Structure 1
């Protein structure tokens, strides 16, 4: 993805209501009006963001827009840090609907929008199905440390597995990392079990729970929440509407 050290463009506030912005979607994620983000960022700028006590559309929109990290060096993101639209994805590697999105929809979004500089996808680990989900999340983060997150992501989602039946054991995750092109497997295994991996996954989960995310996959397209593996056309319409708002 293209690196950039210049500040991300400010997306204009939406004037329409959340219901109108999400018209045609099957469901939306509940949004909580007060939350605090970690203040670490690549450019040193604070990402702390709290929604004003007054419940207004502008306050909600600003808080949701602030969730985009836009870190040009983030290995768990694809697309320019300056893209006008950011899709944040909260997913679990054991979630069958996450896998459906990864196989059927995401590649099309990459071709149509990420490759053209219009969209950035930022992954958030949101393991909700138990120990193997948590292990897979840490493994994905570890693969990202060697620049192979998205290749690992594709390996993990190649097929749908029954939950917590050994498909994401340490040995099988190592096999996925090898197939993804991770070079240093000893480092991979060490990173996967590190406190840093656990902290990174915990940060993502806390962000999702603060939003009210309780199931996967869940998405934010700029400030529009989308729940579930919706049809590709739904994502396209939402992305294109967000791009128009950002102009």
Structure 2
């Protein structure tokens, strides 16, 4: 009997220690899950300057009178921006933008190197020919690896020569002139002034304050948020 008590006494601290480790690991796991959830959840947003100047950004995709606006801050070299543009944007276009419920404005957040400036400036050269959004989708669809040279001026000119309907000669002259590069830089400044620190960053605005989302969020996340905004701000 005494021997068994002694054995239990020796084993007890080990069991207690093991239990304590399990509890600590559980707390850490919960903390990690909480951090991950916060990274993928929306947060209330109020423009630091009172409103967001989108006048230098893209043409509006959708109806000007749509009650909900998505502002996207992106970089054409960003792989997560590409993922969102290919996976999520088409569904938003089909179910919300084409229905007149939502409009999208793209703002240049060209911070991944000097080639990003050229790639973004090219969007406004394409816009001179009424092809902003065709260029936008085409560039993302043909994105190379970050900063491997695919977005240099010469490569962009070669790439868009395959874009149907675009006058590549006029585009090249425009891109070489550099006339839209300051516009791109100003949009980057606007992005940073309004709290964007990574790409893509979205601000979804309905009635009242906007909601900020970061990362290549799936369609389901946008669907829930857009439906909420539309409920509180019906067309």
TM-score tier (shorter): 0.7 to 0.9
Deviations 1:37-93 (A, max 9, x none): xxxxxxxxxxxxxxxxxxxxxxxxxx3xx3274x7xx85321011100110011001
Separation in structure 1 between the aligned mates of residue 195 and residue 176 of structure 2, nearest angstrom: 28
Aligned residues: 193
Question: For the structure 1 residues 33 and 67, does the alpha-carbon distance in structure 2 shift closer, same or farther, using more than 3 Å as the test?
Answer: closer
Q: Which residue of 1 aligns with 2:225?
A: 238
Matched, 1:138 2:121: yes
Find the residue that maps to 1:77 and give its secondary structure: coil
SS at match of 2:149: coil
87, 110, 126: which one aligns with 2:93: 110
2:216 maps to what in 1?
229
In structure 1, what is the Cα distance between the partners aligned to 2:58 and 2:114?
Answer: 24
RMSD after superposition: 2.5
**207 and 31 in structure 1: CA distance in 2 versus 1, 3 angstrom threshold:** farther
C-alpha deviation, 1:152, in angstroms: 1.2
Instruction: Report the TM-score when normalising by structure 2.
Output: 0.74
Mark the structure with the bigger radius of gyration: 2
Note if contact 2:111-2:188 (Cα within 8 Å) is conserved in structure 1: no
CA contact (8 A) 1:25 1:234 kept: no
Q: Write out the 4+ residue segments of structure 1 that deviate beyond 6 Å after TM superposition.
A: none
For residues 113-128 of structure 1, the aligned pairs below 5 Å read 113-128=96-111
- Which of 210, 219, 236 is residue 202 of structure 2 equivalent to? 219
Within a 5 Å distance, the mapping from 1:88-107 to structure 2 comes to 88-107=71-90
Contiguous gaps of at least 5 residues in structure 1: 1-22, 36-62
Q: Give a deviation string over 1:91-142, Cα, whole Å, max 9, x none.
A: 0011000000010000110000010000101011111110111111111121
Q: Out of 197-206 and 115-124, give the one that drifted further.
A: 197-206
What is the rounded CA distance, in whole Å, between the counterparts of 1:85 and 1:32 in structure 2? 15
1:128-167 alignment runs, 5 A limit: 128-167=111-150
Residue in 2 aligned with 1:56?
Answer: none
In the superposition, the TM-score normalised over structure 1's length comes to 0.70
Q: Which residue of 2 aligns with 1:26?
A: 40
